[in-house]
Structures are given as structure tokens and as C-alpha cells.
Structure 1
Amino acid sequence: MSGTPAVDREIDGNLFVTVSGPPGCGATTLVEGISAALGCGYVSGGELFREIAAERDMSLSQLIAKTGESEEIDRALDRRLRTIAEKWGASSKPFVLESRLAGWIAGNRADVRIWLDAPDEVRADRTASREEMTSEMQVREVIEETRYKSYYGIDLSDRSIYDLAINTGRWDAETTLDIALAAIDGYDIEADEGAFDTPDFEI
């Protein structure tokens, strides 16, 4: 996905929304669209990762390599995400949090949790021009899946916590946004009876 689709409607709701998925799934584009529709801010896990790299005067590739040597960097990122989730989960204001672990970290604080994915070849094509090489991103995916299981007991293949899962290889950015906004617009917190409980965990 590239670019941000035009949004011709506003969604009225003070909802905390999370968007998760692997690199190249279209999460950034979707988050920007939801943010515009809700008229709210958002935070991206990728941006936080880049902030940590800048703070340590490291390139993304160097920081990714460093995560394989120690738990400290991974946990530092997750702690930042947890702090943001706690803040916005208690604020009763609209907000969007994006990261591969956002749905798990936000847990029961989130109102709507969205998972995005696409076939490997589609995601590889979308990420070809990024600073990280596709091979590096694939290695990072495997590392993250392993660490989430070993650190927190989280199985990323478990999609049961998500309210909506979209294969973004099947629909363009605008249609994907329409699907997500329809789910958000139709969500009624007073009538909600279907949320899956997400256990809290230490970071």
C-alpha cells in the first residue's frame, strides 16, 4: 500500500483502536486513514523503534542486530508501548496504536483490535524500497515471534484476541480503510458482549 486514501466521513467515537501485523501489511497507511477519520492522534511502533535507534546513534539495521544480543532493547520498546496504551486506555479519547504487539499490549484497554496481513510476496514488494532489506525484515519477524513466546508467553499465531482481520493483499488501501471504519463505526461499547479477555503480562 502507498499513500493515504481520502476520507470523506468522520467517525464519532472516543475509541482506542489498535492495528497490528507484519512488515508490509499496510498498517501505517490504515492507521493514518483511521486517525484522519477519528480526528485523533496515533503512535507507531516503527516510529518508536526509530526513536530508540536515533537515541543510541544507531542505524535500524544495527539496532535490529542488537536486539538479537539482549532483551533490553525489545523490552524498552514494549515498555514505551505499554505506557502509551495505559495512558490512552484511561483517557476516554480516540486514539490509534500500531505495532505488531499493540493488540496484546493494549489488552482489555482497547475497544477495537485489528490484525492485517498479506501474502509474503506482496509484503516483500511493498517493503522493497525501505531502509531495511526484505531479508532483514523477515529475520526480524522470526526473532520477534520467538521472543514474544519466550518473554511473555504470547503466541502470535493466535488471532482470537482480534475483532477484525483483513488480508490487505485482496483489497486496496481505500477499501481496507472502508472495512475498518465500518467496523469502528458499528461498534457499540454499551452493547459489546463479544470481547475476548486478554491476560495482562509483565514487561
Structure 2
Amino acid sequence: MAETPSPTEPIETTLFITVSGPPGCGATTLCERLADAMNCPYVSGGDIFRELADDRDLSLNQLTAKADASEEIDRALDQRLQSIAEEWGMVNKPFILESRLAGWLAGNRADLRIWLDAPEDVRLERIGDRMETEAEMRVREVSEAGRYESYYEIDIDDREFYDLHINTARWSKSGVFELVRTAIEEYDAEIDEGAFTTSSVDVEQ
């Protein structure tokens, strides 16, 4: 039986949060609920990808094929995400940015960087209704990792700088949300001794 979310209590915060993870990690579910509780905007890499497709009058499949053939699309996507991170990193208002590279692109502008994951078989079951096969998911993850390293010298497996790393297979959707809620509500800038730093990512061509 599907989990029925309970009414969400508001979260009072001004934190800029990034959420990242592989397909099927539960990022969309968490971000939607966080945005509702924090009463703040939420932007995902998928949103920007769809905007790029509309800008170019292409279908999502056509833009995906173009991205596989050229770095121009990936860089355009990452430039928009980084610009959004730069803007929201200066306003002292709550905001959520979600993409595989959100934590890298936001860098030290973000107040809280989260990595979500789950065992591969769990993620495959979750994305079953997206018409993506196991082989396709694996190829996409390997391809993306190679592009990130080629373009920006980013090792996507380097997760040291994330403040939270959660295996979403171990808790319910509500449980994952409550873990993150606690981290947000218990955060106190006055006792924060420092996040791990990251090098700036140059997304210009």
C-alpha cells in the first residue's frame, strides 16, 4: 500500500539546500516535500533540461541525443544551474536546488548539501514506471560520470563534502524527510565549525 504523507509542519529556515543523487534515489520526493514545508522555490536539473528543449524546439529525446553527441547541452544546463546557485547564494532566503551536480555547482554558496542513494535493485524498482531499463540506467550513470570528469575534472564518486549522505532504502519517504528536517532545524550557524570546501567549477566552454 502506498505511503500516505501526513500533514507537513512548516520548517522555519533561510538555508540554501542542494540535493543530489543517482536516478531512483528519491530526490524529487524529498525536494517536493521540503519545498512545501520550507515554503520556498525548488529548481531541478530536469526542469532546466526541459526549458532547454523548449528553447531549441526539441523533444526531450532529441535533446538527450544531442547532449550525448556534444558537450554544448550539458554545459548550457550546468551554466543555468550555477547561475541560479549564485543568485540564491546571496539572498539569505530558503531555496532548494536538485541535480546530480547541484552540490558541486553551488559549492560553498550552499548551506546544506545532501546526497541521496539506494542500492541499485531498489532504484531500478523505483524507476520501473519511467520506461528505463537496467542497462540504460547503468549506461547513463557511466556516461554522465565520464562527462563530468572530462568537462570539469569532477569525480562524482567523491562525496566527502556532502553534509548528509542518506541511504533512502533504509527509511520510509516520511522517515527520510524527518531526517533532513532534523538536520535543518538543528542547524545553528553560531556553532558551525565549517563545511568541507570544494573547488569552484568552471562551466564556461
TM-score (norm 2): 0.92
1:14 matched to 2:25? The reply is no
Q: Provide the residue aligned with 2:184 in structure 1.
A: 184
The alignment's C-alpha RMSD in Å is: 1.7
Contact 2:67 2:73 in 1 (8 A): yes
User: How far is the alpha carbon of 1:184 from its aligned partner?
Assistant: 0.9
Q: Provide the residue aligned with 1:27 in structure 2.
A: 27
Q: Provide the residue aligned with 1:97 in structure 2.
A: 97
Q: Provide the residue aligned with 2:110 in structure 1.
A: 110
Amino acid at match of 2:163: D
Aligned partners of 1:128, 1:32: CA distance in 2, in Å?
20
Amino acid at match of 1:83: S
Residue aligned with 1:74, SS: helix
| Unaligned segments of structure 1, at least 5 residues | none
Q: Provide the residue aligned with 1:172 in structure 2.
A: 172
In structure 2, do the counterparts of structure 1 residues 48 and 121 end up closer, same or farther at CA, with 3 Å as the change threshold? same
How many residues matched? 202
User: How far is the alpha carbon of 1:95 from its aligned partner?
Assistant: 0.3
User: How far is the alpha carbon of 1:47 from its aligned partner?
Assistant: 1.4
Contact 2:104 2:201 in 1 (8 A): no
1:50 matched to 2:50? The reply is yes
1:41 matched to 2:41? The reply is yes
User: How far is the alpha carbon of 1:7 from its aligned partner?
Assistant: 4.4
TM-score (norm 1): 0.93
Q: Provide the residue aligned with 2:194 in structure 1.
A: 194
Contact 1:160 1:196 in 2 (8 A): yes
Residue aligned with 2:40, SS: coil
| Unaligned segments of structure 2, at least 5 residues | none
Residue aligned with 2:138, SS: helix
Deviations 1:111-160 (A, max 9, x none): 00000001111111111112555543332211111111111111111111
Aligned partners of 1:31, 1:94: CA distance in 2, in Å?
12
**Percent of residue pairs identical:** 58
User: How far is the alpha carbon of 1:187 from its aligned partner?
Assistant: 1.0
Contact 1:127 1:134 in 2 (8 A): no
Contact 1:128 1:134 in 2 (8 A): no
In structure 2, do the counterparts of structure 1 residues 7 and 78 end up closer, same or farther at CA, with 3 Å as the change threshold? farther
Residue aligned with 1:129, SS: helix
User: How far is the alpha carbon of 1:96 from its aligned partner?
Assistant: 0.4
Residue aligned with 1:160, SS: coil
Contact 2:22 2:141 in 1 (8 A): yes
Q: Provide the residue aligned with 1:120 in structure 2.
A: 120
Deviations 1:7-48 (A, max 9, x none): 432221100000000111000000011111111111011111
User: How far is the alpha carbon of 1:183 from its aligned partner?
Assistant: 0.6
Query: Larger deviation: 92-101 or 135-144?
Result: 135-144
Amino acid at match of 1:112: L
Aligned partners of 1:60, 1:129: CA distance in 2, in Å?
17
Residue aligned with 1:96, SS: strand
In structure 2, do the counterparts of structure 1 residues 194 and 47 end up closer, same or farther at CA, with 3 Å as the change threshold? same
User: How far is the alpha carbon of 1:191 from its aligned partner?
Assistant: 1.8
Q: Provide the residue aligned with 2:61 in structure 1.
A: 61
